[in-house]
Homo-oligomer: A and B are copies of this chain.
Amino acid sequence: MAPFGGLSAFPVTPSDADGRVDTDRMGALVARLACTGLASIGVMGSTGGYPYFSVGERARAIAASVEAAGDVPVVAGIGALTTGEVLAHARAARDAGAQGLLLAPMSYLPLRDAEVLGLFREVAAATDLPICVYNNPITTHFDISNDLLTALAGIDRVDAVKNPAAAAEDCAEQMAVLRRRVPTGFSLGYSGDALIANALGAGADGWYSVLAGVLPAPCLALWAARGDAVERMVLNARLGPVWEVCRAFGGIRVAYEIASRLGFGRIDLPRPLLPLTRDEVARVEAALIASDLPLDAAP
């Protein structure tokens, strides 16, 4: 099911105040990840702030990442508000060397199922890259139901889903339902680091991780322990303080704060988004220490 499945890390995107990507620092962040054993690197995902960048800037970020990633496949976010823009992003991502596409149904006016189905059909017909359905209702404001996902999985080249992790029993039930309805080999993956252990325990094929984009080691350890209930619970519990600040402030905001302490200089999301406050940063620092993740030991 490559390039989807396994542990995929989503790096942040360094950029300037004019919305221009700093490709040197982007490459450095990706090179740091590429040597760790990750299954893929997800560039211009929500963590990378894809909706805030133009077609040209996303393509520059993807090209720099592909070069830095070596043999590790790069998957790229192509979501946008109009079909025309999505198609342009899909072409540009392909040309920049991406090996897979992540497509979230971004919305302003609320979308209907038939509209999302039509979008995926049109994009899949226009590319030769595999596509992952990127279901992130908190940011897209559209919830992909199991019925719609089943229809999407019937489209050629739509090979995977990235669903939000939930309570353990909900993940297990959803996965059991979907396994019966999607084609064999369709990759059922999850995101939402704070709840990911539930999806791992239920047998998820992939983990699309924000934290792994800045701190891959503890995520690789948790992924490796996914089949061992006791070890998985211990490693997840150790990350509890980090998951707590992710829940409180948003995992992506926490990731930009951590990214700014990796030795590549300050990295912020585009304005109007602001960095965490000083008190919030202190809580993030405390959480990292409590989870045995001092930043000077970051791999």
Q: Which residues of B sit under 8 angstroms from A115, Cβ to Cβ?
A: 271-274
Given contacts A110-B250, A138-B110, A252-B109, contact A83 B46 (CB under 8 A): no
Interface flag for A296 (CB, 8 Å): no
A114 in contact with B274 (CB, 8 Å): yes
CA distance A108 to B142 in the complex (A): 12
Q: Which residues of B sit under 8 angstroms from A85, Cβ to Cβ?
A: 19
Q: Closest B-chain residue to A249, C-beta based?
A: B112
CA distance A250 to B119 in the complex (A): 20
Interface flag for A141 (CB, 8 Å): yes
- A50-65 at interface with B (beta carbon < 8 Å): 51-52
CA distance A73 to B118 in the complex (A): 38
B108 in contact with A106 (CB, 8 Å): yes
A269 in contact with B119 (CB, 8 Å): no
A81 in contact with B110 (CB, 8 Å): no
A275 to chain B, nearest CB (A): 10
A88 to chain B, nearest CB (A): 10
Of B18, B109, B122, B253, the residue contacting A273 (CB under 8 A) is B109
A271 in contact with B82 (CB, 8 Å): yes
- A259-299 at interface with B (beta carbon < 8 Å): 269-274
Copies in the complex: 2
CA distance A109 to B114 in the complex (A): 25
Interface flag for A127 (CB, 8 Å): no
Q: Which residues of B sit under 8 angstroms from A138, Cβ to Cβ?
A: 110
A109 in contact with B269 (CB, 8 Å): yes
Prevailing SS type, chain A contact patch:
loop
A83 in contact with B270 (CB, 8 Å): yes
A272 in contact with B118 (CB, 8 Å): yes
Q: Closest B-chain residue to A86, C-beta based?
A: B272
B272 in contact with A108 (CB, 8 Å): no
Interface flag for A36 (CB, 8 Å): no
* Best-surrounded residue of A83, A85, A250 (most CB of chain B within 10 A): A83
CA distance A139 to B118 in the complex (A): 21
Given contacts A110-B250, A141-B141, contact A272 B82 (CB under 8 A): yes
Against B, the Cβ 8 Å flags (1 = close, 0 = not) of A230-253 are 000000000000000000001011
A245 to chain B, nearest CB (A): 15
A109 in contact with B250 (CB, 8 Å): yes
Q: Closest B-chain residue to A50, C-beta based?
A: B108
Against B, the Cβ 8 Å flags (1 = close, 0 = not) of A83-101 are 1110000000000000000
Since A18-B84, A19-B82, A114-B274 are in contact, a sample of 14 more A-B pairs with Cβ atoms closer than 8 Å, ordered by chain A residue number, is A46-B108, A49-B109, A51-B81, A51-B108, A52-B81, A83-B270, A83-B272, A109-B250, A112-B274, A115-B271, A115-B273, A118-B271, A118-B272, A122-B271
Closest 4 pairs (CB-CB, A-B): A119-B272, A83-B271, A51-B108, A115-B272
